[in-house]
């Protein structure tokens, strides 16, 4: 699409992105924002109407002509969709334990019966190896579903809270109630997991849900439409496919919560749109996740775990992937050699032909990564790899040594198979390097030094942290997953998903007994003394006030 045509089209769908008065959002110009967004566009659009799914196929350029000829999902349809779901939610249908369980059981059944279809779609979108797709997407989603099925009844139980003497006799509790109609906008790198996992949380909490899958993973997006129609209650759970116009139309609506997974740049747009309606958001973004590597480690195990947490993780296209390593100058050569051996062990001698590694998702992402690699002060820092094949959208696992901090590869999240190693004289110097960048989603550390572990946890702020391994902390359902500052806000996984899509309502119950005149005017000196004693919570003072022995001054 030509830049002028793109801007005109998107101005029609969302003029606020181009408004001069929108500077308070802290975003760059509308042109810059849309340039980024249109790089993520895909030609297949599925339009969800109130009564049916309508598939629309556009040309690869997403030209204005194709948009005019083929009707897109617009704001009025999005508004109708939200109103329909609000009606379903207001009927109370989604609130019952039975409905929630039935939907979770249907998801579990879907995962069992459609495993082959899911892995095929993931291979078509990302060339994900079967085992990687099964473990990182199907099995992980299955685990979330099973955990929710086991724990949901307990999660839904009101939480008892102690009351104070000033409200005696009384009881109190926190009631978890669903928020209403929520929007989940997922991303392309784990298109199945990152669509289903938040939806599971929203269902657990009793909400009606709209899922907007990523158009960059079209096979998975199309499959999600089919599976949701076949397995789930479409009166309360819907899917909207599409690209920028469809997402814009959805963001113009008033939701009860939005969960977005993706880049910080688009996260700002989502948050700005949500702010117009005071809609709360969960933003799962990313950032440059560091791995600090000490020398007193099991080098072979460390190398394998870094290889797994970088290249075996969707070829580095993951927000939790190791983005760069910091180690000492003296230890770097040994670490590089261990990583080379780890790569050969996992992917064979010819890394470009390995069937155990995903490809780059698109030509635009491939071009972005090549640009990072070919920058003047970067290209001569390659010590391993560097090969690329645009036709196959493959870039070999690449290690770079001591890339300058002012290069783009050290400024932006890499999101690909490139791994810089930065060397320092002492590991403690790594703190300043990490702190000079936005707070990461995850920070990794490899060491047997207990003091270093303690210092790292205390000194480095990140969404999460994993010591002596990578990625695997996400498999613990009792740990929240979420970022901090530019790496995101809010969290989910396990009960945190339930809580994230619930309102915690405080409720106190009192009887008509125990009604004391002391709380009502007129406030005599005796009442004042007793009230002050009651507020203090000191039993002796209360007794003294009751029998008239209090020495409290009163006005």
| Token duo for residue 289 | 């996740």
Beta partners for 465? 443
CA distance 48 to 56: 10
**Whole-angstrom distance, CA of residue 187 vs CA of residue 263:** 9
Task: Return the closest-CA partner of residue 34 out of 57, 15, 20.
Answer: 15
Complete DSSP assignment for 350-396: -GGG-TTSPPPS-HHHHHHHHHHHTSHHHHTTEEE---EETTTTEE-
Q: Which of 204, 319, 346, 466 is catalytic?
A: 319
Alpha-carbon torsion, ordered 207, 208, 212, 218, to 10 deg: 110
Catalytic residue among 284, 346, 466, 486: 284
Chain centre distance of CA 158: 27
Three-state SS for 134-195 is HHHHHHHHHHHHHHHHHHHHHHHCCEEECCCHHHCCEEEEEEEEECCEEEEECCCCCCCHHH
| Residue 215 burial by Cβ neighbours in a 10 Å radius (0-12, 13-18, 19+) | buried
Residue with tokens 């009101």: 158
Distances (CA, A) of 224 to 121, 205, 230, 298: 10, 21, 10, 42
Q: Are strands 44-48 and 53-57 parallel, antiparallel or unpaired?
A: antiparallel
What Cα–Cα distance (Å) separates residue 372 from each residue in 207, 267, 312, 436, 546?
42, 23, 21, 20, 77
| 319 assigned to active site | yes
To the query of whether residue 284 is one of the catalytic residues in this protein, the response is: yes
Q: Give the residue among 202, 195, 251 at the shortest CA–CA distance from 224.
A: 195
What residues are labeled active site?
A: 284, 319
């Amino acid at each position: 699409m030509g830049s002028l045509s793109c801007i005109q089209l998107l101005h029609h769908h969302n003029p606020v992105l181009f408004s001069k008065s929108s500077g308070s959002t802290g975003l760059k110009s509308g042109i810059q924002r849309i340039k980024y967004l249109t790089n993520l566009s895909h030609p297949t659009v599925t339009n969800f109407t109130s009564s049916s799914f309508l598939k629309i196929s556009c040309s690869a350029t997403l030209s204005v002509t194709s948009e005019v000829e083929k009707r897109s999902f617009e704001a009025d349809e999005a508004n109708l969709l939200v109103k329909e779901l609000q009606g379903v939610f207001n009927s109370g249908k989604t609130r019952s334990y039975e409905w929630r369980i039935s939907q979770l059981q249907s998801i579990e059944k879907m995962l069992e019966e459609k495993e082959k279809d899911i892995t095929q779609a993931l291979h078509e979108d990302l060339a994900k190896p079967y085992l990687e797709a099964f473990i990182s997407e199907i099995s992980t989603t299955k685990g979330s579903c099973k955990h929710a099925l086991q724990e949901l009844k307990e999660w839904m139980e009101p939480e008892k809270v102690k009351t104070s003497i000033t409200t005696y006799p009384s009881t109190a509790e926190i009631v978890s109630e669903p928020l209403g109609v929520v929007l989940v906008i997922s991303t392309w790198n784990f298109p199945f997991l990152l669509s289903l996992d938040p939806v599971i949380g929203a269902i657990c909490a009793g909400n009606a849900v709209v899922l907007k899958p990523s158009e960059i993973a079209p096979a998975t997006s199309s499959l999600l439409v089919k599976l949701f129609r076949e397995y789930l209650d479409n009166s309360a759970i819907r899917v909207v496919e599409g690209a920028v116009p469809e997402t814009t139309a959805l963001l113009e609506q008033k939701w009860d919560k939005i969960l977005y997974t993706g880049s910080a740049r688009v996260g700002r747009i989502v948050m700005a749109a949500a702010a117009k309606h005071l809609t709360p958001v969960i933003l799962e973004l990313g950032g440059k996740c560091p791995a600090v590597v000490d020398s007193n480690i099991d080098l072979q195990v460390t190398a394998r775990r870094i290889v797994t947490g970088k290249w075996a993780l969707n070829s580095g296209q993951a927000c939790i992937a190791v983005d760069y390593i910091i180690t000492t100058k003296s230890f770097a050569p040994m670490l590089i050699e261990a990583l080379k051996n780890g790569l050969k062990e996992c992917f064979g001698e010819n890394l470009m032909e390995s069937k155990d590694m995903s490809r780059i998702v698109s030509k635009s992402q491939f071009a972005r990564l090549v640009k990072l690699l070919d920058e003047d002060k970067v290209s001569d820092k390659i010590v391993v790899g560097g090969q690329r094949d645009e036709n196959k959208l493959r870039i070999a696992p690449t290690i770079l040594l001591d890339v300058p901090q002012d290069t783009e590869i050290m400024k932006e999240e890499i999101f690909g198979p490139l791994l810089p190693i930065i060397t320092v004289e002492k590991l403690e110097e790594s703190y300043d390097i990490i702190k000079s960048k936005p707070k990461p989603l995850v920070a990794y550390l490899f060491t047997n030094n207990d003091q270093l572990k303690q210092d790292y946890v205390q000194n480095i702020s990140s969404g999460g942290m994993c010591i002596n391994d990578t990625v695997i902390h996400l498999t613990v359902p009792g740990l929240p997953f979420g970022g901090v500052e530019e790496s995101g806000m809010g969290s989910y996984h396990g009960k945190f998903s339930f809580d994230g899509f619930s309102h915690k309502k405080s409720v106190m119950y009192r009887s008509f007994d125990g009604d004391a005149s002391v709380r009502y005017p007129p406030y005599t000196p005796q009442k004042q003394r007793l009230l002050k004693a009651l507020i203090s919570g000191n039993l002796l003072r209360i007794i003294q006030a009751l029998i008239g022995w209090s020495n409290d001054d009163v006005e």
